[in-house]
Structure 1
Amino acid sequence: MAVPTNASLWLLPPFVLTCMILHEAAHALAVKHFGREVIAIGLGWFWVGPFFFVDTSDMWLAGRRERILVSLAGPIADLVIAGLLALASLLLPPQLASLVLFGAAIRYLTVLLCLTPFLEYDGYYALCDLLNRPNLRRDAFSWLFDEFRPTLVALATAATHRRTELFYALGSLLYLVFLVTMNAFANHAFFASLFREDRQAWFVGPLVWVITLSLLAFFLAGLMSDLSQLRRPARRAY
């Protein structure tokens, strides 16, 4: 798959925006399918960027299976979009096919991100319902930061009695390290590609690094804010 040209890269924002709307529409339609109400639809902010959201809290009055399906509706919509784009690329000229296939790859990557349960995305909420642990993330980090002491005895006890919290919290921390690293590499690669036609200019290299490090700083600030909030006592949902 060839890398899209600079002109093609400017098509990414409207493409991603459209896919985000379709993703959230799938959640909303799933809620309506199960006879519940969509409380609100809006725009929010998560870590370093805006996102669309659908308030599906009325689904708490539905069964666990229905809640899981509502959580998975968005990633399923992304899979359908990615699959259609991949099929369309087989029928298009090579240059256009490469661009369409690049869009499909983005959606497949989005599905992986959404289904990863270590951040509060769709996969996390599906896992919470599957385990019947509505505050799993907050419980796990609150226990890890405030109660757990990293000794062999504590580790053995935790592996027996707090296995879910231990695995989830440690898995989340490892995933966050991976995410921060990939964020830096991805941003640098994207902006280096975006300005590759002007790479002879002396300022392009430093500019790419300034943009990359600035976005990384925002990302880390969001991460630290998220972790600090997780240290607060969990509010139980009944």
Structure 2
Amino acid sequence: MTEFALDAPVLVRPYTARRDGDFAVIGDDSRQVYLSIPAEGLDLLEWLRDGATVGEAVRRFEATHAASPDADAFLQALADEGFLAPAGAHDPPPDAEPARARRAGHLEWLSPHAARRLLSRPVLAVCGVVVGVAVAMAVDRPGLVPGPSSLMFHSHFWAYLLVVLGIAVIGVWLHELAHVVGARAAGTSARMTVGNQMYAIVAQTDLSGMWMASKRERFVAVLVGPLVDVIGAALLFITLWLNDVGVLGLPEPVRLVVAGVLFTSFIRLLWQTFLFLRTDFYYLITTALDTRSLMADTGAFLRNLVRRVLRRRLIDQSGVGRGEMRTIRIYAVVWVLGRVVALAVLFTATIPLLWFYLVRVVGFFRGDEMTGQFTWADVLALAMLSFLLDGGGTLMWLRSLRRSSRLRRRAPDRVLVE
């Protein structure tokens, strides 16, 4: 544990800060570490940064806020995250959590001014017109709206599947690229990565730098991804409508691909409503409610319920306001029910599907005869995608669970935000 003498100054490492009501966010962009602290805590940190000793900063705090701060705990928490150290120190404290290595963001060449023009009101107005036209066409011919059957190809299944999936991946890439543009419009960096949400492999964008942006800018960066999905779906439906009325003469294979890709757009939008995962709409709600770590605080709340039953020491959540705690209690129900359903799908659909294709792939290499309407090319294509997406996602999830377990063993009484 780091010791801070009252009569000595403190080494405060460079940081940026943004006040937001009763709280402030401090960040070290070089390490991509961001913390939410009480606004009065930022006063204390700024006095220390300006050269005041710990004792002088505490006395200023008492004179300004008419209260005595728990300086030891506050300074220790900041030291653990590498924001400060005793005077004379040159390296981060040995017990600090390792920060993520700073990596260059995508579209760094795109200036904030240019990014804001891409998200300007005229551009959004044009997008609104396109969506409005598509909605009117859907009302005119609702039978053109594709359903799950649009992915049930009765011939050349493997070829259709790979083409539809390839185009859908491009749509996912555009979705994530839009998030990066939203971050650049706020003057921050963002990076697209591949990760997992439970057992599903997902593309995602690291928007950590948006903690330092305004609430409006955070809304834009979050919403622009689903907006791209909606625009893409609208353009695809307009294509189907124009073909149906005879303006376009699409070959039947092309029409089938367009309908299949459109349905995958619906699936992506539906995915964003899974609030028990870190989806775009989850971040939209947390931004609207000013809950800075809703999922992590909910996890601590649920673990405390178990700890009360087992009569173990509780995780300290005294810093969570009453209004935010009400939100956490409601969200806990959504989180538990969502995870139960997701686990049920894993054990009743995903794992049996993986086993189904594993048996058939083994049969293929043994020379078994193929039965049914699928060819071996169809089965191998489905097996490859299933093992890559479902199997790979499950392995990544298990690895993240092990990592979380190690972190909790090291700090059992802390709220861990991952």
Q: How does 1:207-226 map to 2 (within 5 A)?
A: 218=395, 221=398, 224=401
The alignment of Structure 1 onto Structure 2 pairs a total of residues equal to: 218
Please give the alpha-carbon distance, in whole angstroms, between the structure 1 residues aligned to 2:234 and 2:405: 39
Matched, 1:61 2:212: yes
Please name the residue that 2:284 is paired with: 126
Please give the alpha-carbon distance, in whole angstroms, between the structure 2 residues aligned to 1:60 and 1:224: 25
Please give the alpha-carbon distance, in whole angstroms, between the structure 1 residues aligned to 2:392 and 2:188: 37
Matched, 1:83 2:239: no
1:56 deviation in Å?
A: 2.5
Q: Which has the higher contact order (CA 8 A, sep 6+)?
A: 1
* Residue identity opposite 1:109 in structure 2: I
Please give the alpha-carbon distance, in whole angstroms, between the structure 2 residues aligned to 1:83 and 1:225: 42
Residues 172 and 223 (structure 1), Cα distance of their counterparts in 2 relative to 1, 3 Å cut: farther
Q: Greater shift after overlay, 78-87 or 44-53?
A: 44-53
1:98 deviation in Å?
A: 2.5
Select 1:164's aligned residue among 323, 327, 337.
327
Select 2:169's aligned residue among 17, 32, 49.
17
Which has the larger share of helix? 1
* Matched-pair contact (CA < 8 Å) for 1:30–1:69: yes
* Matched-pair contact (CA < 8 Å) for 1:71–1:122: yes
Matched, 1:71 2:222: yes
CA offsets 1:74-129 (integer angstroms, 9 cap, x no match): 11111111221222223234443232111111111111212432111211111111
CA offsets 1:203-238 (integer angstroms, 9 cap, x no match): 97xx97x969956854763685587589663268xx
Residues 31 and 216 (structure 1), Cα distance of their counterparts in 2 relative to 1, 3 Å cut: closer
Please give the alpha-carbon distance, in whole angstroms, between the structure 2 residues aligned to 1:42 and 1:63: 21
* Matched-pair contact (CA < 8 Å) for 1:48–1:219: yes
Select 2:272's aligned residue among 90, 99, 114.
114
* Residue identity opposite 1:121 in structure 2: T
Q: Equivalent pairs: percent with the same residue? A: 23
* Matched-pair contact (CA < 8 Å) for 2:229–2:265: yes
Select 1:98's aligned residue among 252, 256, 264.
256
- Name stretches of at least 5 consecutive residues in structure 2 with no aligned partner: 1-148, 244-249, 310-321, 362-368
1:171 deviation in Å?
A: 1.0
Q: Greater shift after overlay, 117-126 or 49-58?
A: 49-58
Structure-2-length-normalised TM-score? 0.44
1:43 deviation in Å?
A: 2.6
CA offsets 1:113-148 (integer angstroms, 9 cap, x no match): 124321112111111111101100010111111246
Please give the alpha-carbon distance, in whole angstroms, between the structure 2 residues aligned to 1:81 and 1:42: 20
Please give the alpha-carbon distance, in whole angstroms, between the structure 1 residues aligned to 2:235 and 2:403: 35
**C-alpha RMSD of matched pairs (Å):** 3.9
Q: Greater shift after overlay, 137-146 or 7-16?
A: 7-16
Q: Greater shift after overlay, 173-182 or 227-236?
A: 227-236
* Matched-pair contact (CA < 8 Å) for 1:41–1:54: yes
Q: Greater shift after overlay, 93-102 or 116-125?
A: 93-102
Please name the residue that 1:41 is paired with: 191
Please give the alpha-carbon distance, in whole angstroms, between the structure 2 residues aligned to 1:226 and 1:89: 47
Please name the residue that 1:185 is paired with: 349
Please give the alpha-carbon distance, in whole angstroms, between the structure 1 residues aligned to 2:407 and 2:218: 23
Structure-1-length-normalised TM-score? 0.72
Please give the alpha-carbon distance, in whole angstroms, between the structure 1 residues aligned to 2:224 and 2:298: 26
Please give the alpha-carbon distance, in whole angstroms, between the structure 2 residues aligned to 1:178 and 1:41: 31
* Matched-pair contact (CA < 8 Å) for 2:201–2:392: no
1:68 deviation in Å?
A: 1.7
Residues 31 and 123 (structure 1), Cα distance of their counterparts in 2 relative to 1, 3 Å cut: same
Residues 75 and 229 (structure 1), Cα distance of their counterparts in 2 relative to 1, 3 Å cut: farther
Please give the alpha-carbon distance, in whole angstroms, between the structure 1 residues aligned to 2:226 and 2:406: 27
* Matched-pair contact (CA < 8 Å) for 2:272–2:281: yes
Please give the alpha-carbon distance, in whole angstroms, between the structure 1 residues aligned to 2:280 and 2:235: 22
Partner secondary structure for residue 187 of structure 2: coil
Please give the alpha-carbon distance, in whole angstroms, between the structure 2 residues aligned to 1:85 and 1:214: 31
